[in-house]
Structure 1
Amino acid sequence: MTTAQFMESFLLLLVLLNPFIFSVYVLDLFRGLGLRALTGVLFRAYMISLCLFLLFAWFGEQIFDDVLQVRFLAFLIFGGITFLIIGIRLTLNLGSAIESKNLHPEEAAGSIAMPFIIGPGTISASVVAGSRLGTLNGSLAIILAMATALGSLILLKVVYDWVQNRQERYVRRYVEVAGRVTAMFTGSFAVDMILKGIERWLELPG
């Protein structure tokens, strides 16, 4: 393992966990929860996700084949369809991806973890980190990426609350623009996931 390989695995997962895009997904929670409550929800969601990522880093795609008895390609295609629906909702302004109304914090943590953190992209990145860096260093890269993403989200919440109280109209404009950009990115990423799954399925022998 080299430092370059470690940084590549760390940055790949961090990019997939992009806190700026993620903040648009959970905008209703940003608006409806205080800093302490939101921090608790995000912490639980990230801990759930971290446990699964570490399992995939240690055991790879064998978890799908031997334990879940489901092809990883099926997970890839279904994950793409899920994100495509989310992208369409954001594009048509049909509401936030997660509604905070009448949602218990424990339920919110599960809704955040799947599919916004745990998805084909992040699971694949975890598998690559484990196979490329080894169990220990792969786990370290995943933990650092998750901690950086979580810290960035909490910082964004602090900035959001501070700006919201002073420049509300600018916040609304940012949310509108960021939502549209996020919708385009999400939709494109979703279609790419579906196509990759289909391409790999067609390449299977017999």
Structure 2
Amino acid sequence: MLEFLQAISLLLALLNPFLMIVYLSDVVQTVDRAKFSRVLIRAAAIAAVVFICFALAGDAIFSTLVQAEFASFQIFGGAVFLLIGMQFMFRGPTAIEMLRGESTNLSGAIAMPVLIGPGTLSASVVIGKTSAPWLACLAIVVAVAASTAVMVLLKILHDYVRASREDLIQHYIDIAGRVTALYLGTVSIEMIMLGIRDWVGRF
């Protein structure tokens, strides 16, 4: 049971819905509640399938298909995260809109890079290594579903208070954006250091 809860908490720490909603601030403000829920659920389903694949066959994916060490992915992923964190620091939440770009498939654009990123893929591989296959799959589904449910609730709350508390919402987005930048920067450096440590440990 403890192993199961640890797996959920590991992925939830990276799928933090209170920070994820900041990534999606432009979508939250422009898309109605029903469409937002549909799009987010589809994106979450895509992300869950990818996470499960990496949890069950992470090492095989890197060694056979990518033909690279997992440490290389950690270093590159950390560098990407670092760039995103710097964009957030200087540009605010609009940085993620620039990264998504123009896309006719909003679900796919939200799934990557918002949900599927270097951190969440790395966490999925770790969960697959430390948990039984069925337990890893269940933990991933629970974590993704919980994060999605909270984001839908935050969208409902946003629509409810937007008319009278627009300034409060903007303050939250600004503050959470700064926190997100610090969080992303910290996670990115940690990923780079873990990747370097794994490489050094091979010699």
1:8 alignment counterpart? 6
Q: Does 1:97 align with 2:96?
A: yes
Instruction: Tell me by how many angstroms 1:28 deviates.
Output: 1.1
Greater displacement, 93-102 / 122-131: 93-102
Contact 2:77 2:188 in 1 (8 A): yes
Which runs of structure 2 are paired with 1:52-91 in the superposition (5 Å)? 52-91=50-89
Q: Does 1:190 align with 2:191?
A: no
Contact 1:26 1:96 in 2 (8 A): no
Instruction: Tell me by how many angstroms 1:17 deviates.
Output: 0.7
1:111-163, Cα deviation, whole Å (9 max, x unpaired):
32223322333223222333333111211111111110111111111111112
The change in CA–CA distance for 1:115 and 1:78 in structure 2 (over 3 A counts) is farther
Give the counterpart letter for 1:137 in structure 2. L
1:166-186, Cα deviation, whole Å (9 max, x unpaired):
211111111111111111111
Instruction: Tell me by how many angstroms 1:72 deviates.
Output: 1.6
2:112 alignment counterpart? 114
Instruction: Tell me by how many angstroms 1:45 deviates.
Output: 1.6
Secondary structure at the aligned position of 1:20 is classed as: helix
* Pairs aligned (count): 201
Q: Does 1:50 align with 2:55?
A: no
4+ runs of 1 displaced by more than 6 Å? none
Secondary structure at the aligned position of 1:92 is classed as: helix
The change in CA–CA distance for 1:36 and 1:80 in structure 2 (over 3 A counts) is same
Cα distance in 1 for residues equivalent to 2:87 and 2:77: 16
Gaps of 5+ in 2: none
The change in CA–CA distance for 1:81 and 1:17 in structure 2 (over 3 A counts) is same
CA RMSD, Structure 1 to Structure 2 (Å): 1.9
2:201 alignment counterpart? 203
Instruction: Tell me by how many angstroms 1:68 deviates.
Output: 2.1
1:158 alignment counterpart? 156
Cα distance in 1 for residues equivalent to 2:189 and 2:72: 14
The change in CA–CA distance for 1:121 and 1:127 in structure 2 (over 3 A counts) is same
Cα distance in 1 for residues equivalent to 2:114 and 2:74: 14
The change in CA–CA distance for 1:191 and 1:131 in structure 2 (over 3 A counts) is closer
The change in CA–CA distance for 1:204 and 1:116 in structure 2 (over 3 A counts) is farther
2:30 to 29, 32, 38: 32
2:176 alignment counterpart? 178
